[in-house]
Amino acid sequence: MSDSRTTTPTFADVNRDVLRTLNPPGNLYFAWMCVVALGLAGFFFAWAGQVWWGMGMAGKRVPQMWAMYITTFVFWIGIGHAGTLISAILYLFRARWRTSIYRAAEAMTIFAVMTAGLFPLIHAGRMWFAYFLLPYPNQRSLWPNFRSPLVWDVFAISTYLSISTVFFIVGLVPDIAALRDASTGWRRRIFAMLALGWEGSDSQWRHYRRAYGLLASLATPLVLSVHSVVSWDFAMALVPGWHSTLFAPFFVDGAIFSGFAMVLVLVLPMRHFFGLHAYIQEKHLDAMGKLILVTGLVLTYFYLCEIFTSLYSGEHIEKASLFWKVTQTYAWALWTMYFCNCIAPLVLFWRKARTSPVALYVVSILVLIGMWFERFNIIVPSLGHDFYPYTWGIYYPSPTDTAIVLGSFAFFLLLFLGFIKLMPSLSIVEVKETIPPPMRDGSHAH
Amino acid sequence: MPTETVLGVFAHVDTTVRALEELRAHGYHDLTVYTPLPVHEIEELLERDRPVSRVRLFTLIGGLTGIASAFLLTIWSSLVWGLVTGGKYLQLEPGGIAGSSLPPFFIIAFELMVLFGGLATVIGMVVLGRLPRFRPSSTFDPRFTNDRFGVAVHCAPERGASVRELLRAAGAEEVNVR
């Protein structure tokens, strides 16, 4: 701890440092926003084109109607797992290292689920009929089929988005109150409104703490259920390569794996540009690196299980599907996935790599690529090579769906970059909980 | 009965705790404590006099409402128009209800339990914590969201002097009457 940047901050330092992150941004920020705007323009042009000229603009054809849109949908839902995992499960386990990253991770979760939520609408085509998803009867009083995993999915994702958002807002209230008391003018008026008049009195804290614990307990099974339900979209179907009881834990693990990678991709630059080294220390990076390593190893085990189940099934169609995936048209995607998800994270066995921002960044990017390809490999080759040769097919992406998939990253980054300049991206209250409280009869007097 | 409010501002957790202990010993229970973060020691002291937060009741009622409404929705809509899915069904027939395909509905019930339970929890927090407040309370000081702790004592005017003395002795940085 010889570095002055890592000496223990005081409570007042925390307020000042967090407030500092809300200063007007520099040129680099605006340069990034320009890139984001370009990506977003491509996204909306492509989407408008698809609405105007029809779904043929997207490359998806029978049999791979799910293709890139649902791949990207599952990818973003998966990214959205780390935030609530950090804020709920690690909260209940009292993992103290979560405090400095949880706010950014929670924001990431909400924005990722919002991005994911666009894809069923884009995919289904006529998004102005999105209200068809709501559970209400049609003119002949026929209700949705509540035995369909797609209906479960609607419930799971809307619940996840609502509860994550609520959890996020509850956590923000005391922090916004701190910002209110440290700012002036119109900012103060806006923060005062958003803080709901929070004062930090004992009765407020009492109900707040209880509510927070209960929300965490409710969100914990929710985190695990969301991606299980998403996995049942696949596992309930008879498609070879999908119809497996392995899918729920497999998806949940993959989601946590990719979610943590995305947390690192966002938090490492934040730490660098905001100078948050005193709060996001090496031990935090180390902990996240370990989690990526563990979930990566579990994922590798699941991949092996998947292959074993196919080979051992005695089903020649399962075996044929596996053989086709591993050796034929989409083999490059499968091997990319194996490299990125199984081999690359092994670097994190070394402590040096776990504490090196560059190494972590590279591994995280590879993991994100690998996890996108995992969903691609589940959807596209499986649908492209099922029971009968006359239903086989090869999928080629078109400029429209490529632009929409790439543009979704811009959509996500726009929300995130906006957030970190408008709201405290580091939890003032929770960071204070981890530093030693000021004591007069102790070593931490000030 | 007129009351006086004495506010002590503290810079340290241990002095705040000492003041609270002293106040309790002298029989002052009408206190408001402001902290920039939830402090375990202070919570423990105050919890002795107070029942556990009733937020959990909101959560329970919300969660049960969610489960009930989910089963009501799924079972009732199946009975209105039976759909046979993969040989599984639950429908109304001349002799009564036929089929017993309930397991898929547990997923909907779980999701709605979490949704309603979570929303009810927040409503509970807002209602019980008396939020939103449109005007700051008279004893609040902006420093309490930064690095200072506040103890506001509501007492009879004639005891004000002794409370002030007590807070000062415990180590308050400043003591004033609001």
- Per CB-CB distance under 8 Å, the chain A contacts of B135 are 197
Give the gap in angstroms from C-alpha B95 to the nearest C-alpha of chain A.
22
Does position A1 have pLDDT exceeding 80, yes or no? no
Domain assignment present for residue A441? The answer is no
pLDDT more than 70, % of chain B? 99
Residues with Cβ within 8 Å of A236's Cβ and at least 6 positions away in sequence, in order, are A149, A243
On whether the CB atoms of residues B17 and B165 are closer than 8 A, the answer is: no
Number of domains in chain A: 1
Among A11, A173, A211, whose Cβ lies nearest the Cβ of B146? A11
- State the best of B24, B48, B107, B140 to mutate against chain A, taking most chain A CBs within 10 Å: B107
Query: pTM for this structure?
Result: 0.93
Residue A2 pLDDT level (bands cut at 50, 70, 90): very low
pLDDT of residue A69: 95
Mean pLDDT for chain B?
91
pLDDT of residue B98: 85
B33 touches chain A (CB under 8 A): yes
Per the structure block, which two tokens stand in for A293? 């390593």
Per the structure block, which two tokens stand in for A435? 């530093």
The number of beta carbons lying within 10 Å of the beta carbon of residue B134 is 8
What distances in angstroms separate CA A215 from CA A10, A32, B62, B70, B94, one per listed residue? Answer: 29, 35, 12, 20, 45
What distances in angstroms separate CA A331 from CA A292, A369, B125, one per listed residue? Answer: 25, 15, 53
Does position A225 have pLDDT exceeding 50, yes or no? yes
* Contact: B78, A170; criterion CB under 8 Å: no
Among B117, B118, B146, whose Cβ lies nearest the Cβ of A182? B146
Give the gap in angstroms from C-alpha A15 to the nearest C-alpha of chain B.
6
pLDDT of residue A442: 62
Residues B132-166: pLDDT tens digits? 888 888 899 999 999 999 999 998 988 889 999 99
Q: What angle do CA A264, A265, A267 make, to 5 degrees?
A: 60
Does position A257 have pLDDT exceeding 90, yes or no? yes
Size of interface A-B (CB pairs under 8 A): 209
* Contact: B56, A442; criterion CB under 8 Å: no
pLDDT of residue A6: 54
Per the structure block, which two tokens stand in for A205? 């804290």
Mean pLDDT for chain A?
92
CATH 3.30.70 domain extents, chain B: 4-52+131-177
A221 touches chain B (CB under 8 A): yes
Domain assignment present for residue A446? The answer is no
pLDDT more than 70, % of chain A? 98
* Contact: A204, B131; criterion CB under 8 Å: yes
A162 touches chain B (CB under 8 A): yes
B5 touches chain A (CB under 8 A): no
Give the gap in angstroms from C-alpha A275 to the nearest C-alpha of chain B.
20
pLDDT of residue A281: 92
- For B1-29, give the DSSP string: ---EEEEEEES-HHHHHHHHHHHHHTT--
- The pair phi, psi for residue A26, each rounded to 5°, is -95, -170
d(CA A334, CA A325): 7
* Contact: B114, A222; criterion CB under 8 Å: yes
Chain B residue with Cα closest to A10 = B147
Among B56, B107, B130, whose Cβ lies nearest the Cβ of A210? B56
CATH code at position A67: 1.20.1630.10
Identify residue B119 by its one-letter amino acid code: L
Strand order in the sheet with B174-177: B31-34, B149-155, B4-10, B174-177
Among B15, B37, B110, whose Cβ lies nearest the Cβ of A225? B110
Residue A140 pLDDT level (bands cut at 50, 70, 90): confident
ipTM of the complex: 0.92
B136 touches chain A (CB under 8 A): yes
Give the gap in angstroms from C-alpha B38 to the nearest C-alpha of chain A.
6
Chain B residue with Cα closest to A443 = B12
B133 touches chain A (CB under 8 A): yes
Residues A96-120: pLDDT tens digits? 888 889 899 999 999 999 999 999 9
Residue A263 pLDDT level (bands cut at 50, 70, 90): very high
Task: Please tell me the total number of residues recorded for chain B in this structure.
Answer: 178
* Contact: A146, B81; criterion CB under 8 Å: no
Does position A436 have pLDDT exceeding 90, yes or no? no
d(CA A97, CA A354): 15
Domain assignment present for residue A275? The answer is yes
pLDDT of residue A216: 94
Domain assignment present for residue A171? The answer is yes
pLDDT of residue A264: 95
Q: Which fold has domain B4-52+131-177?
A: Alpha-Beta Plaits (3.30.70)
pLDDT of residue B2: 76
Domain assignment present for residue A312? The answer is yes
Per the structure block, which two tokens stand in for B119? 């929303």
Average pLDDT over residues A53-73: 92
On whether the CB atoms of residues A122 and A47 are closer than 8 A, the answer is: yes
- Per CB-CB distance under 8 Å, the chain B contacts of A441 are 14
Q: Which domain holds residue A91?
A: 4-132+146-434
Among A166, A178, A197, whose Cβ lies nearest the Cβ of B122? A166
Residues 284-303 of A with CB under 8 A from B: none
Q: Residue A209's closest CA among B21, B43, B33?
A: B43
On whether the CB atoms of residues B48 and B66 are closer than 8 A, the answer is: no
- Per CB-CB distance under 8 Å, the chain B contacts of A229 are 107
- Per CB-CB distance under 8 Å, the chain B contacts of A172 are none
Does position A122 have pLDDT exceeding 60, yes or no? yes
B65 touches chain A (CB under 8 A): no
Q: What is the helix (H) or strand (E) element at residue A222, kind and residue range?
A: helix A202-235
Residues with Cβ within 8 Å of A167's Cβ and at least 6 positions away in sequence, in order, are A84, A87, A88, A106, A215, A216, A219, B118
B84 touches chain A (CB under 8 A): no
Residues A323-377: pLDDT tens digits? 999 999 999 999 999 999 999 999 999 999 999 999 999 999 999 999 999 999 9
Give the gap in angstroms from C-alpha B111 to the nearest C-alpha of chain A.
6
Residue B91 pLDDT level (bands cut at 50, 70, 90): confident
Give the gap in angstroms from C-alpha A429 to the nearest C-alpha of chain B.
5
d(CA A416, CA A406): 16
Domain assignment present for residue A141? The answer is no
Q: Residue B156's closest CA among B45, B51, B27?
A: B27
d(CA B138, CA B178): 7
Does position B28 have pLDDT exceeding 50, yes or no? yes
- For B102-144, give the DSSP string: -HHHHHHHHHHHHHHHHHHHHHHHHHHTT---SS--TT--GGG
* Contact: B114, A166; criterion CB under 8 Å: no
